[in-house]
A and B are shown apart, each in its own frame.
Chain A
């Protein structure tokens, strides 16, 4: 199975995880500082900065885009509870 390498910059932890895993599953297990609210893509609490490998995540859905816009999220921000890793290297950190 394809694997992705996810680097959590705030805690200096690198994790390899199967493609399709959501960022939330990985970050909670390793104790990154990304904070979660509803965990369903509605509250915007888990907005996360993707500093590298933006294209190695699934595309944001229409609903995720809407929540990011409403929360005035910056460029290359994603909801960690929605974004799934696809492969390659992805660097993230809490906003």
Chain B
């Protein structure tokens, strides 16, 4: 049977020794079931914070959610006194890691806060004060604790703009913040002791890191060369057994799952539609035909009624352009369209091209609403959408074909520059 770390003695929370100079001083939250609204957890989470002792002072790496501050301070006090603290490192400023920060700064006023350059405005907002001393750091910056050195690696958008990782050189230990973390609470703490947390690790990646795959790959370029004995994330098990496997898994998850049969220079355009009387479907088919007339664009047509949302999200992640066809019913686009559009926050859509079309009976607001949503998701919507009242005429079907052609040309960068007078725009 696994040996449990001694987390409390006589009701007082105790630090857990990870090495002679490094202690876990975080907190357990086993009853949490829903994190930040968007994430579920079947057995809670941990807020991992760490203490590093050097010959010339102590560093605290991250803190905990505010209502777990007592556990954090008791664990800290079990291995250090506040006047020894020279450095406070914040790898990420979300409140679950900075909840105890104001009180820690009050108890250790001599300590200097180290944050990434992009964290400055967030720290000010968090502490609600403009004037205080801190050091902002970039990749390669270091802070010495005497015989221990912390080196910083800026890893933006994993998963906030501010996020960084901190490497304890002498112990080949990476304090990785939310990277390589997961919501999984187990008092045995270490990845080779806790229950099976593979699902939690993958689920966390899929919801937290997946939207930032490009940034994950850039961060891995920085982190992969590091010698690693431990990865100590801000949530979930401490990765002391085969830490590199988790780095490798991040690389796999951030690479394309299956390359499609798209050749170099080819672009992909996906057309999604839903239709109540067949009119939006007729428009979809015409757009499909029009787009297919353009060489080097691979066009696909999908009826939203024919699939669950998740496979479409995967398809969209790898596509260059996406087009939505929706009727307008009761002054709105229809729910299956919104269901898909509200599921796209987990993927990167920037630089993709979007377009919208649809048939309507009265006013046709749905097309404009979906266009606005696409722009909100950071797609380019270069060609105004097509709205057709009820049954499309042959002329209107032709305009749909042209819409498809233009979208395909847009993907290939073949559209002629356009000159518009603002007064002509509706």
Binding site for B on A (CB under 8 A): 10-18, 21, 26, 28-33, 35-36, 70-72
A35 to B425, CA, bound (A): 20
Q: Which residues of B contact A (CB under 8 A)?
A: 117-118, 120-121, 350-351, 375-376, 378-384, 415-422, 425
Which 3 pairs from chain A and chain B are nearest by CB? A17-B422, A33-B380, A12-B417
For the complex formed, measure the closest distance between the CB of B41 and the CB atoms of chain A, giving whole angstroms. 29
Q: Which residues of B contact A21 (CB under 8 A)?
A: 422
A33 to B350, CA, bound (A): 9
CA of A73 to CA of B351, assembled, Å: 20
Q: Which residues of A contact B120 (CB under 8 A)?
A: 70
Quote the shortest CB–CB distance from B22 to chain A (angstroms). Answer: 32
Inside 8 A of A26's CB, which chain B residues have their CB? 422
With both beta carbons as reference points, the residue of chain A lying nearest to B419 in the complex is identified as: A14
Please, which residues of chain A bring their CB within 8 A of the CB of B425?
A: 15, 29-30
Q: Are B418 and A14 in contact (CB under 8 A)?
A: yes
- B117, B378, B420: the one contacting A35 at CB < 8 Å is B378
Other-chain residue from A12, A16, A28, A70 in contact with B418 (beta carbon distance below 8 A): A12
Within 8 Å CB of B383, what residues of A? 31
Q: Please name all residues of chain A whose beta carbon is closer than 8 Å to the beta carbon of B376 when the two chains form the complex.
A: 35
B417 in contact with A31 (CB, 8 Å): no
Inter-chain contacts of B419 with A (CB < 8 A): 13-16
Q: Is the CB of B417 within 8 A of A18?
A: no
Which among B382, B384, B416 has the highest number of chain A CB atoms within 10 Å?
B382
Query: Which of these, A13, A33, A70, A72, contacts B417 with CB under 8 Å?
Result: A13
Chain B residues, CB < 8 A from A18 = 422
Residues of B within 8 A of A29 (CB): 422, 425
Contact of A14 among B118, B375, B382, B417 (CB under 8 A): B417
Residues from chain B with Cβ under 8 Å of A33 in the complex: 350-351, 378-380
Measured in the bound complex, the distance between the Cα atoms of B374 and A36 in whole Å is 12
Q: What are 9 pairs between A and B in contact, CB < 8 Å?
A: A10-B380, A16-B419, A16-B421, A17-B422, A30-B425, A35-B378, A36-B375, A70-B121, A72-B118
In angstroms, how far is the closest chain A Cβ from the Cβ of B179?
Answer: 22
The smallest C-beta distance from B54 to any residue of chain A, in angstroms, reads 31
A31 partner residues in chain B, CB cutoff 8 A: 375, 380-384
CA distance A30 to B416 in the complex (A): 15
* CB neighbours of A14 from chain B (8 A): 417-420
Q: Which residues of A contact B375 (CB under 8 A)?
A: 28, 31, 35-36
Complex contact A11–B118 (CB within 8 A): no
Q: Is the CB of A15 within 8 A of B421?
A: yes
How far does the alpha carbon of A33 sit from the alpha carbon of B117 in the complex, in Å?
Answer: 27
Q: In whole angstroms, what is the CA distance A59 to B211 when docked? A: 35
The complex places the Cα of A26 from the Cα of B421 at a distance, in Å, of 10
Give A36 to B382 CA distance when docked, in angstroms: 16
Name B422's contact: one of A12, A16, A72 (CB within 8 Å). A16
CA distance A28 to B380 in the complex (A): 10
Please name all residues of chain B whose beta carbon is closer than 8 Å to the beta carbon of A28 when the two chains form the complex: 375
CA distance A36 to B421 in the complex (A): 22
In the assembled complex, the Cα of A28 lies from the Cα of B378 at a distance in Å of 12
Task: Kindly provide the distance from the CB of A66 to the nearest chain B CB, expressed in whole angstroms.
Answer: 10
Q: How far is the CB of B140 from chain A (nearest CB, A)?
A: 18
Residue of B nearest to A28 (CB): B375
Q: Which residues in A have their C-beta under 8 angstroms from that of B379?
A: 33
Whether A13 lies near B420 (C-beta < 8 A) is yes
Q: What's the minimum C-beta distance from A41 to chain B, rounded to whole angstroms?
A: 15
- A52 CB to closest chain B CB (Å) equals 15
| B420-A15 in contact (CB<8A) | yes
CB closest chain-B residue, reference A69: B121
Contact of A15 (CB < 8 Å), options: B117, B350, B422: B422
The smallest beta-carbon distance between A40 and chain B, in angstroms, is: 16
Q: Shortest CB–CB separation between residue B403 and chain A, in angstroms?
A: 13
From residue A64, how far is it (CB to closest CB) to chain B in Å?
A: 15
In this complex, the member of B121, B378, B420 whose beta carbon has the largest number of chain A beta carbons within 10 angstroms is: B420
Q: How far does the alpha carbon of A84 sit from the alpha carbon of B332 in the complex, in Å? A: 33
CA distance A12 to B425 in the complex (A): 16
Contact B421 A11 (CB under 8 A): no
User: Smallest CB-CB separation from A21: which chain B residue?
Assistant: B422
Q: How far is the CA of A15 from the CA of B384 in the complex (A)?
A: 15
Besides the known contacts A13-B382, A15-B421, 11 further A-B residue pairs in the complex with CB atoms under 8 A apart: A11-B380, A11-B382, A12-B415, A13-B418, A13-B420, A16-B420, A16-B421, A16-B422, A33-B378, A36-B375, A72-B117
- Rounded to whole angstroms, the CA-CA distance of A70 and B425 in the bound complex is 35
Whole-angstrom distance from the CB of A58 to the nearest CB of chain B?
A: 17
Smallest Cβ-Cβ distance to B425: which chain A residue: A29
